[in-house]
């Protein structure tokens, strides 16, 4: 997994170098007028509906699996017009995934079973993450225009500072830190829209859980999050 992260960072660095060199070759003169050197530095807030893809047999989602993220992105323009650039950011996120896949602590180990027909109130996995997005940016902005079209796409690295499983029924409540949830999360995302309102989609490239399986069937748990929703950018 760390090798994958390293390759992603290496590809981004290489892409930045190639684009920057191309811009220098194409633009012999650099506009040094202070008025044209604006940046699209932005705070962002995102709301998502979280889907678990590649679920094991008989595992289904329920309730409203949701996500919240916010942070800041630094803009790095690549051309004189400043409508093409890179972005690097830092933020926090909270993601919840409700399903009928229950985690149980048994003798200092975690096992997983699909909840049968017995009633329960909620069963979920929750993560709190520190995130670092790296993105390529295209927009129709100008120095005096705050309303413009944008297309941002890139990769996001995340580290789970808290990962917990929670189960609540009428007569039982379980809430514990789950070491099976992979602390390192990474994936690709895409955002486009006009002005403040933007569509957002993120697909995680590694599994939500590490090497885990359903106890009764031996089926591997290889679920990956797909988060779709809205992203709001604030200048």
Q: For residue 97, which phi and psi values (nearest 5 degrees)? A: -130, 110
List the one residue out of 110, 107, 123 whose CA is nearest residue 215.
Answer: 110
Contacting residues for 38 by C-beta, under 8 A, at least 6 apart: 82, 143
* Coil, strand or helix at 18: helix
Q: What is the pLDDT of residue 63?
A: 87
pLDDT in tens, 163-217: 999 999 988 899 999 999 999 999 999 999 998 899 999 999 999 999 898 988 8
Evaluate if residue 14 carries a pLDDT over 60. Answer: no
Which residues face 86 on adjacent strands? Answer: 76, 136
Please return the burial class of 64, using the count of CB atoms within 10 Å of its CB with bins 0-12, 13-18 and 19+: exposed
Question: What is the pLDDT of the chain when averaged over all its residues?
Answer: 85
| Residue that wins the pLDDT comparison between 157 and 10 | 157
pLDDT in tens, 53-99: 999 989 999 889 999 999 999 999 999 888 999 999 999 999 999 99
Give the separation between CA 195 and CA 157, rounded to whole angstroms.
Answer: 26
Going by the DSSP 8-state scheme, the letter that residue 57 receives in this structure is T
Q: Are 178 and 110 in contact (CB under 8 A)?
A: yes
Q: Which two tokens stand for residue 94?
A: 């909270």
pTM of the model: 0.81
**Strands (DSSP E) found in 9-147:** 42-53, 66-77, 84-98, 101-106, 109-114, 122-139
Domains and CATH numbers, the chain: 39-234 (2.40.160)
Terminal Cα distance for the chain, rounded: 35
Most confident of 31-35, 59-63, 156-160, 166-170: 156-160
Going by the DSSP 8-state scheme, the letter that residue 208 receives in this structure is S
Please return the burial class of 14, using the count of CB atoms within 10 Å of its CB with bins 0-12, 13-18 and 19+: exposed
């Amino acid at each position: 997994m760390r090798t994958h992260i390293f390759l992603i960072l290496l590809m981004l660095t290489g892409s930045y170098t190639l684009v920057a060199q191309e811009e220098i070759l194409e633009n012999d003169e650099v506009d040094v007028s202070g008025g044209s050197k604006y940046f699209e530095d932005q705070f962002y807030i995102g709301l998502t509906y979280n889907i678990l893809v590649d679920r094991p047999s008989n595992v289904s989602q329920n309730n409203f699996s949701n996500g919240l993220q916010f942070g800041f992105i630094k803009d790095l323009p690549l051309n004189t017009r400043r409508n093409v650039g890179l972005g690097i950011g830092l933020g926090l996120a909270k993601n919840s995934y409700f399903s009928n896949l229950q985690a149980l602590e048994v003798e200092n180990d975690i096992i997983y079973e699909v909840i049968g027909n017995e009633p329960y109130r909620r069963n979920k996995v929750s993560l709190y993450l520190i995130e670092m997005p790296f993105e390529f940016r295209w927009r129709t902005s100008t120095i005096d225009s705050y309303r413009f079209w944008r297309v941002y796409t890139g990769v996001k690295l995340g580290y789970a500072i808290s990962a917990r499983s929670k189960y609540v029924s009428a007569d039982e409540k379980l809430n514990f830190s789950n070491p099976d949830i992979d602390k390192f999360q990474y994936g690709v995302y895409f955002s486009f829209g006009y002005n403040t309102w933007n569509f957002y989609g993120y697909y995680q490239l590694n599994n939500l859980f590490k090497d885990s399986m359903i106890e009764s069937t031996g089926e591997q748990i290889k679920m990956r999050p797909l988060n779709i929703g809205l992203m709001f950018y604030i200048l």
